[in-house]
Amino acid sequence: MNQKAQVLAKNYCYFIDKAVTPAHAVDEMQKLLKLYEFQPLSEKKSWKGKLKKGGRYFVIRNGTSIIAFVIGDDYDPSCNGFNILAGHTDSPCLRVKPISKIKKNGMLQVGVSTYGGGLWYSWLDRDLTLAGRVIVKERTLFRETLVNIQKPILNIPSLAVHLSRESGENLKLNKENHLVPILSSFISKEFEPKIPNSDHHPLILMGISEALKVDVGNIMDFDLSVVDTQKSVIGGALEDFVFAPRQDNLASCFISVKSLIDSLDDKSLKNESRIRMVACFDNEEIGSMTDQGANSTYLANIMKRITKSFENHDFDVALRDSFLISSDNAHGVHPNYSNAHESNHQCQINGGPVLKTHVGGKYTTNLISRFLIRQLAERNQIPLQDFVVRNDSPCGTTIGPITVSKVGLRALDIGIPQFAMHSIRETTGVLDLLYLYRLFLAFLQDFNSISSELDTLEEIPFLSQPVLNQNDDNDDNDIEDIQIEKDQK
Ligand SMILES: [Zn+2]
């Protein structure tokens, strides 16, 4: 197996294991960016005089979405746009309800809500724990922080096959009744600590207290997710797969940020006239309609603020000169269910990134963006695969169409193929991670030169020479005809 791909996959596994919730993912990304001298910016403060050509920055919203960018040394705010890689930080999971305390049949249980469209059966019989955001009291003030309890304190047991025929072959889970995790068997008074909080079991508060080294009394509120404690691994007989949770869409987040950082390696910013950007949004799995989601003003605001930080700016021009890659995982053809895939568009794991097309608008890829990305891939020897969904099958969507219709950008949809999308344990290909990384790197560094080679219908009215029909024997006549038409007008 390719050595570079193995190293990249190992770093990726490390990232996923730390990025247990969207807030943890953003925290890991900002730590990585800070290592490479990216400076944090606050949306609440003026950026006047702060942004410089050649500078590296990032902006976090809600702690769960992040936009990072670098400004080229030759950036011209009157005409140069953005090369944007975009993904999402969230994955389907179970979230602890505001009042979670449940006691039933001698068991302590935790009330949870389903977040997104998970393959919920895969959450049964796993070694689970809790992680998320907590507000703690520090003397007279309050502070938001992250917690990951790490120990497997929860489990959602399946029903024995002997007790229901449905438990075996025709498993149907009721999302309210059958997904309630068990925390403990003890309801004996001596094991129940005296903690004055009636909404959650004291054992949860004690778990947070232990993990954060804060007094239970100083835990004011929290937003916790149920997460798997099993570590990510590289697997398969040839070590060609990654078995891990949340790969949809931490794969895109990790590879985007890594590409952005590594794109600065070759000093290419010296001749860079554009802004290289990565945008990772929360809440894609629930429709993106939040303050920090792709359907907010977040991206447009940040792009506008960057452009307007420089003199002689023209944001509208910069916007139309920009290009966005919406990156989200795709479905690899499953050998046990190959009929579920359209027969001419079966994408293989480790066969390269998947270009997604949907004439109904679920993806943003169109003729122009497809042509340009194929050129880019071909020149960098990166294999691409094409995906369309079967006409008789439902189709997922991505942040692509939402972002593009909100902001007004040229775009395409791409992503690495995977098995078991939305399972607690998903499978991707080690080689695909490297292909995606190389494609993103090429996009950030070289896309504009390829894009400038293509004259589209948008540009044709402005060209000095009329476009000729090369199959026509007598080209000169065509020129004359056009000239005559012009004169008559
Ligand atoms: Zn996704």
Q: How far is the CA of 280 from the centre of ligand 1 (A)?
A: 11
Dump pLDDT digits (tens) for 131-182: 999 999 999 999 999 999 999 999 999 999 888 877 777 789 999 999 999 9
The type of residue at 202 is P
Select from 358, 333, 335, 359 the least CA-distant residue to 344. 333
- Number of neighbours of residue 107 by Cβ within 10 angstroms: 16
Q: How far is the CA of 79 from the centre of ligand 1 (A)?
A: 32
Dump pLDDT digits (tens) for 58-87: 999 999 999 999 999 999 999 999 999 999
* Res 469: pLDDT: 61
Q: For 81, what's the count of Cα atoms within 13 Å in the CB-facing half-sphere?
A: 19
Domain coordinates in residue numbering, the chain: 3-85+245-451, 93-228, 464-489
* Res 484: pLDDT: 47
Q: Indicate the average pLDDT of the chain.
A: 92
Q: How far is the CA of 413 from the centre of ligand 1 (A)?
A: 11
Dump pLDDT digits (tens) for 8-43: 999 999 999 999 999 999 999 999 999 999 999 999
CA 426 to CA 392: how far, in whole Å? 25
Q: How far is the CA of 382 from the centre of ligand 1 (A)?
A: 22
* Res 468: pLDDT: 60
Average pLDDT of span 122-126: 98
Q: Is 92 helix (H, G, I), strand (E, B) or coil?
A: coil
Dump pLDDT digits (tens) for 265-282: 866 788 899 999 999 999
> What would the DSSP string read from start to end of 183-238?
EES---GGGS-----SSS-HHHHHHHHHHHT--GGGEEEEEEEEEE-SPPEEESTT
Please list, in sequence order, all residues whose beta carbon lies within 8 angstroms of the beta carbon of residue 314, skipping any fewer than 6 positions away: 77, 78, 79, 307
Which regions of 15-127 does DSSP assign to beta strands (E)? 39-41, 56-61, 65-71, 82-88, 93-104, 107-115
- Confidence grade of residue 264 (pLDDT, cut at 50, 70, 90): very high
CA 376 to CA 380: how far, in whole Å? 6
- Preceding peptide of 155 cis, ω within 30°: no
Q: How far is the CA of 343 from the centre of ligand 1 (A)?
A: 23
Dump pLDDT digits (tens) for 300-357: 999 999 999 999 999 999 999 999 999 999 999 999 999 999 999 999 999 999 999 9
The dotted CATH code for 3-85+245-451 is 3.40.630.10
* Res 473: pLDDT: 52
pLDDT at 489 over 50: no
Q: How far is the CA of 127 from the centre of ligand 1 (A)?
A: 24
CA 403 to CA 328: how far, in whole Å? 13
pLDDT at 290 over 60: yes
The CATH classification of domain 93-228, taken from the options 2.30.250.10, 1.10.10.10, 3.60.20.10, 3.90.1150.10: 2.30.250.10
CA 280 to CA 257: how far, in whole Å? 9
By the 10 Å C-beta count (0-12 exposed, 13-18 middle, 19+ buried), 314 is classed as: middle
pLDDT at 460 over 90: no
CA 31 to CA 60: how far, in whole Å? 12
Query: CA gyration radius for the chain?
Result: 26
